[in-house]
Amino acid sequence: MIRIRRRPLKKNATESKAQQKSSSKDIPLSKSLEENIQYFSSLYQDSTDVMFHSFIVGEKDATIVYIEGLSDTQKLDEQVLEILMDENEFDNADFLSSVKNRLPISNIKKIPTYSACINAISNGNPVLFFDGFEEAFSLGLVKFEKRSIEEPAAETSIRGPREGFTESLSVNTSLLRRIIKDPALKMKSVQVGKYTKTKVIVSYIEGLVDPTLIKEIENRLNRIKIDGVLESGYIEQFIEDDPYSPFPQVLYTERPDVVCANLLEGRAVLLIEGTPFSLIAPVSFFSLFQSQEDYYERFWIGTFIRSLRFLFLAVALFLPSVYVAITTFHQEMVPTDLLLSIASSRETVPFPAIVEAIMMEIAFEALREAGIRLPKQVGSAVSIVGALVIGQAAVQAGIVSAPMIIVVSITGIASFMVPRYSVGLSIRLLRFPIIILAGALGLIGVMLALIMLIIHLSTLRSFGIPYLSPVNTLQKHFMQDTLIRSPLWKMNSRPHFTGDFNETRQGTNLKPGTNKSKD
* Cis omega (within 30 of 0) for bond into 276: no
Q: Are residues 364 and 412 in contact, defined by beta-carbon separation less than 8 angstroms?
A: yes
Residue-wise pLDDT tens digits, 258-267: 999 999 888 9
Report which of 109, 461, 476, 73 is spatially closest to residue 281, judged by C-alpha positions: 461
Q: Amino acid identity of 324?
A: V
CA angle 453, 458, 460 (to 5 degrees): 95
Residue-wise pLDDT tens digits, 316-352: 999 999 999 998 898 888 888 888 888 888 888 888 8
Q: Amino acid identity of 235?
A: I
CA angle 443, 309, 256 (to 5 degrees): 140
Angle formed by the axes of helices 353-373 and 299-329, to 10°?
A: 140
pLDDT tens digit at each of 519 positions of the chain? 334 343 343 444 444 444 444 444 578 999 999 999 999 999 999 899 999 999 988 888 999 999 998 999 899 998 899 888 877 677 777 888 888 888 888 889 999 999 999 999 998 999 999 999 999 999 999 987 788 888 887 788 788 888 999 999 989 999 999 999 999 999 999 999 999 999 999 999 998 888 999 999 999 999 999 999 999 999 999 999 999 999 999 999 999 999 999 998 889 999 999 999 999 999 989 989 888 888 888 888 888 989 899 999 999 999 999 999 998 898 888 888 888 888 888 888 888 889 989 988 888 888 888 777 777 666 666 666 677 677 778 888 888 888 888 898 899 888 888 888 889 899 999 999 999 999 999 999 999 999 999 999 999 999 988 898 888 777 666 677 788 888 887 777 777 655 556 777 776 777 776 655 544
CA 40 to chain centre: 35
Q: What is the pTM of this model?
A: 0.83
Residue 418 to residues 37, 234, 255, 468, Cα–Cα distance (Å): 57, 23, 17, 17
CA angle 475, 477, 480 (to 5 degrees): 105
Rounded to 5 degrees, what are φ and ψ at 198? -70, 135
Q: Amino acid identity of 223?
A: R
What pLDDT score does 43 carry? Answer: 92
Residue 431 to residues 182, 246, 251, 362, Cα–Cα distance (Å): 45, 12, 22, 11
What span, in angstroms and rounded, lies between the C-alpha atoms of 25 and 33?
20
Residue-wise pLDDT tens digits, 3-61: 434 334 344 444 444 444 444 457 899 999 999 999 999 999 989 999 999 998 888 89
Percent composition of the chain: helix, strand, coil (DSSP 3-state, to 5): 45, 15, 40
What span, in angstroms and rounded, lies between the C-alpha atoms of 265 and 503?
9
Residue-wise pLDDT tens digits, 275-304: 999 999 999 899 898 888 888 888 888 889
| 167 Cβ neighbours under 8 A, 6+ residues apart | 146, 147, 273, 274, 275, 276
